[in-house]
Amino acid sequence: MELQDQLWRAVARTFECFCFLVPHEDAGERTTPEYATAAWLPFARVDGAEALGKEGSLTLRAEPELLQRALEGMLDDPTEVSPQDGLGELANVICGQVLGDVAPESVFDLGSPSALDGETPPFPAPASSVKAELVFDDGVIEVGLHLPS
């Protein structure tokens, strides 16, 4: 399975399990997404096979209405957490899932999620990126896996 498909599936499973939201299989025609909240977190391999290199990062950007719906599915009271913290936690879970699927023989340390300015994470500086967009009834979310050279 290609990395882009694995990213797509990791986001889809996370949203289905935690938020009770299912993405459209066919994105269809739509306008350019307007992402209001974005998170990124770095990861580093601490043991095992060198499947993805030593380090990298994952980004997650979401349209506001979709993120609100996701938080309503995740929590009894979605106002208890900020959209940024909620998206960061989703990024954390998706990152762990992708790394486990792509490099099951490796052990990674995941960093803490942070707010992302722009489209690419500041550290570690990525040389290549794979992205996937998922379209839900309430908006679009984009996941990116960024790897150094």
Counted residue by residue, the chain has a size of 149
Examine residue 81 and tell whether it contacts another protein (CB under 8 A).
yes
Beta-carbon contacts of residue 136 (< 8 Å; ≥ 6 apart): 15, 21, 22, 23, 24, 66, 69
Task: Return the range that interacts with another protein (CB under 8 A); candidates 32-40, 99-107, 125-133, 141-149.
Answer: 99-107
Examine residue 55 and tell whether it contacts another protein (CB under 8 A).
no
Task: Return the range that interacts with another protein (CB under 8 A); candidates 16-24, 59-67, 120-128, 131-139.
Answer: 16-24
d(C-alpha 120, C-alpha 131), whole Å = 11
In sequence order, what E strands does 14-127 have?
Answer: 37-48, 55-62, 106-110, 114-115
d(C-alpha 71, C-alpha 41), whole Å = 19
Q: Which parts of 61-80 interact with another protein (CB under 8 A)?
A: 74-76, 80
Examine residue 124 and tell whether it contacts another protein (CB under 8 A).
no
Among 9, 18, 72, 130, binds another protein (CB under 8 A): 18
d(C-alpha 59, C-alpha 37), whole Å = 11
Among 72, 85, 119, 138, binds another protein (CB under 8 A): 85
* Interaction site with another protein (CB under 8 A): 13-14, 16-18, 47-48, 74-76, 80-81, 85-86, 88-89, 92-93, 95-97, 99-101, 103-110
